[in-house]
Amino acid sequence: MSKYESTYDVIVLGAGPAGYVAAIRAAQLGLKTACVDNWMSPDGKTSLGGTYINAGCISSMALLESAKIYHQIRNDIKDHGISVDNIKLDVPKMIARKDKKVDMLSKQIKQVFADNGIDFIHGSGKLLTARQVSATPPNGGKPIILNAKNVILATGSSPIELGCAPIDNEVIIDSTAALSLQSVPKKLGIIGAGIIGLEIGGIWNKLGSDVTLLEAQEIFLHVTDQQISLEAYKIYTNQGLDLRMGTRVISAKRSKDKVIVEYQDQEGNHTLKLDKLIVASGRKPNSENIAAPEAELVLDENGYIHVDEKCCTTVPGVYAIGDLTLLGPMLAHKGLEEGVFVAEQIANMETPINYDIIPSVIYTDPEIAWVGHTEQAVQALGIKYNTGVFPLKANGRAEAIDKTEGLVKIITNAETDIIMGVHIIGINASELIAEAVLAMEFSASSEDLARTIHAHPTISEVLHEAALAIDNRSLHLP
């Protein structure tokens, strides 16, 4: 007799941010819930949290923190009157610390599942019909057949592979393996200077790698506000990142323990000899084999699942959330909110998501964060606008802690003064953007932000000063 229920109210396929949150919220609402996920840790154990915990945000942030400490001790600690001799870098121990954080957070999710009575099934989930799924064990054993009144598809995404750079995860590696290297590559190449490439490149650059990023786009970080991207380019190149824009990789071939990369730009063909090459050219939805043909689930040519504004697929009672759809950006917190949204929708609650005010973050050092319209987008819309800019170098707290790189930019409607966009590059940008999101959610004006008292001295004052700058009345800008 199966230890699982004959029928569940909700079955979630995937235990990343979208999936595990959907399962938790559904259980909180009194719905009998199960979650199916197939992620395995390097030691062969189940590990909840998807890419977000195992090979994405949490892993990269844990390594970046270690890298920042190492870099500061080597380069900046003497300015504080502190001398340190015989500095040693133990990369395997650093990776072990990261893995420990991953394991701890994964276990926390398991505990929350247990506390809420959620059945977790380790295996690959597949939609068989609108009311039935299978869960195939990792060892390829006999599938478990489960019935559900509602199914939520949340299997996330995975790195895109390139035919010109076949991954062997030895010298040509993907972004997941890049977070588990056991030594610092002397010369490191990265295909892609987008969010993933920059985050990984920044880590290994601080640990001593000579990092070259090859990006097909002509414009650096084209998704961000242009003023922010220009500032970022200046900061990251000053840190030592070699950013080569408008490049097309022709081939990447292994040569003994090295990799030879051929690429092309406006000046012609070039060759790079590297110790490691990381392929960080974007992500694709994990929708392959997610449904049997009989389920009649509709996907587009790129594997994204068709959904409406309520995350409903073409199959009644089946929802798709997170990286599986084109509804909103591929962000962990977007998936998380959709998990709550769908669970509450199943329980006959309406809590809509404002997709226009979802913050984006790049976890580099310094961080980049933004919400709303960029200046170039506002110009394209033909809206009259004002901008207020304030540099971190004029902030007392930033100066005191030697974190003066970056700026804050606020864009407002010239007629109504309503905030249309906020863009930040600097320390704690990922935390500062929350105030901007809250302000925009309540349709705040720059005057509202300017009249809000901020503690002094704090980094958060840069938002206050940028709001004052809309009317050319910043208080601390020489």
Digit-coded pLDDT (tens) for 439-463? 999 999 999 999 999 999 999 999 9
Instruction: Identify the pLDDT of residue 138.
Output: 87
| pLDDT for the residue numbered 55 | 87
* Residues with catalytic function: 456
Cα–Cα distance for residue pair 148/12, rounded to 1 Å = 10
Give pLDDT, residue 299: 97
Which residues of the chain fall short of a pLDDT of 50? Answer: 1
pLDDT of residue 41: 83
For 94-124, the pLDDT digits (tens) are 999 999 999 999 999 999 999 999 999 999 9
Q: Which pLDDT does position 1 carry in this prediction?
A: 37
pTM value is 0.95
DSSP state of 177: G
Rounded Cα–Cα distance for residues 339 and 336 (Å): 5
Q: How far is CA 454 from CA 221, 435, 451, 458, in A?
A: 31, 11, 9, 8
* The Cα angle at residue 103 between residues 191 and 178, in degrees rounded to 5: 15
- Reduced DSSP (H G I as helix, E B as strand, rest coil) percent helix, strand, coil of the chain, to 5: 35, 30, 40
| pLDDT attached to residue 140 | 79
Q: Give percent of the chain above pLDDT 90.
A: 92
pLDDT at 2: 58
